[in-house]
Amino acid sequence: MRHFLQFSDFTLEEYEHLFKRAAILKQRHRAGELYQPLVGKVLAMIFEKSSTRTRVSFEAGMSQLGGHAMFMHSKDTQLGRGEPIEDVAQVISRMTNIVMVRTYEQSIIERFAENSLVPVINGLTNEYHPCQIMADIFTWVERNGPIQGKTVAWIGDSNNVSRTWLQAAKVFDFKLNLACPRGYEMTVLDGQTYGSRYFEQFYDPFQAARDADIVTTDVSVSMGYERETLQRKRDFLNYRVSEKTMLQAKANALFMHCLPAHRGEEVDPEVIDGPQSVVWEEAENRMHTQKAVLEYLLLGKVDN
């Protein structure tokens, strides 16, 4: 049994398979073709934080594959009243076939997975957001081919999304340039783990964006960090992706954002609503790539 708890849980060869399947599933969906290999299967989705895309993409995707998706928010379940995560995992995994969890610390989803009888997928933790970066890289690959050797410029916080880009840089062999204010750097551990072949720390966003193939950013205040809002808004003032930032990158560079976005804060409207932006494709591709993951974790390598 496999879990998808962080990006490095799958190999390059597995991502190649998943992308091939995602492209097929996307094309079938667009053609209105019925493909329902997961009839009778149930996906449990446990949310401890808010969501639009993750919920809709998993729920719609599971239904399209013929299965059923069950939405649970911890505040409406016994989890919110202190039931141990280990006990919840034992119970839920005896009644369902696969589980998606969005929670706080990565250690929570790991404890869930250790006690689960079925595969567990990370739908975002404080540390990682593997489904997002899988969709983002698929979006690049669909348009431009391999991402190997390319440069991704991240302007903003060293958060769950940028940390996952860093894991992906190692799997796919590309470079992540990260520009953030002092005090918000990628932790030493992450930097040391991946080395400068995959990662370079900047403080100047224009330098980080120079000759990049992808420019990307995210909110400066992630879910769970709301107490730091005032300080972070001040600290990230100079890290907004603007048209000037995009001019540093390659002429055909793509702009990506996992969404939700705050126009005028981490990105200017001219960029996110401009011609280089692929944010709606990224969001849609969450569903197609996650369908490939559901199929893979439940049925193995399918080739039809």
Residue ranges for the known binding site for L-ornithine are 160, 218, 222-223
Based on the shown chain and the rule CB under 6 A, indicate whether residue 18 belongs to the binding site for ligand NVA. Answer: no
Structure-token pair, residue 1: 């049994």
| Closer Cβ to ligand CP, 122 or 177, answer by number | 122
Based on the shown chain and the rule CB under 6 A, indicate whether residue 180 belongs to the binding site for ligand NVA. Answer: no
Separation between Cα atoms, residue 98 and residue 222, nearest integer Å: 27
Structure-token pair, residue 294: 């559901």
| Closer Cβ to ligand CP, 258 or 267, answer by number | 258
Separation between Cα atoms, residue 202 and residue 179, nearest integer Å: 4
| Closer Cβ to ligand NVA, 92 or 256, answer by number | 256
Q: Which of 246, 258, 272, 279 binds ligand NVA (CB under 6 A)?
A: 258
Q: Which of 208, 219, 294, 298 binds ligand NVA (CB under 6 A)?
A: 219
Based on the shown chain and the rule CB under 6 A, indicate whether residue 134 belongs to the binding site for ligand NVA. Answer: no
CB-count exposure of residue 132 (10 Å: 0-12, 13-18, 19+): buried
Separation between Cα atoms, residue 42 and residue 97, nearest integer Å: 5
State which of positions 189-218 bind ligand NVA (CB under 6 A). 218
Q: Check if the beta carbon of residue 132 is closer than 8 Å to that of residue 286.
A: yes
Q: How far is CA 262 from CA 61, 221, 265, 291, in A?
A: 27, 11, 6, 28
Count the neighbouring beta carbons within 10 Å of the beta carbon of residue 226.
9
| Closer Cβ to ligand NVA, 175 or 262, answer by number | 262
Q: How far is the CB of 51 from ligand CP (least distance, A)?
A: 3
What residues are annotated to the active site? 102, 129, 132, 218, 258, 286
Contact string (CB under 6 A) for ligand NVA, positions 140-159, x = contact: -------------------x
Based on the shown chain and the rule CB under 6 A, indicate whether residue 108 belongs to the binding site for ligand NVA. Answer: no
Residue ranges for the known binding site for carbamoyl phosphate are 51-54, 78, 102, 129-132, 258-259, 286
At residue 261, what are phi and psi to the nearest 5 degrees?
-110, 160
Structure-token pair, residue 224: 């769970």
Separation between Cα atoms, residue 97 and residue 145, nearest integer Å: 34
Q: Any bridge partners for residue 44, and if so which?
A: 70, 99
Q: How far is CA 82 from CA 73, 77, 86, in A?
A: 13, 9, 11
Based on the shown chain and the rule CB under 6 A, indicate whether residue 220 belongs to the binding site for ligand NVA. Answer: no
Instruction: Note the residues at the interface with ligand CP (CB under 6 A).
Output: 51-54, 124, 132, 258-259
| Closer Cβ to ligand NVA, 102 or 288, answer by number | 102
Separation between Cα atoms, residue 164 and residue 179, nearest integer Å: 15
295 binds, among ligand NVA, ligand CP, none (CB under 5 to 8 A by kind): none
52 binds, among ligand NVA, ligand CP, none (CB under 5 to 8 A by kind): ligand CP
Which residues lie near ligand NVA (CB under 6 A)? 124, 159-161, 218-219, 222-223, 258
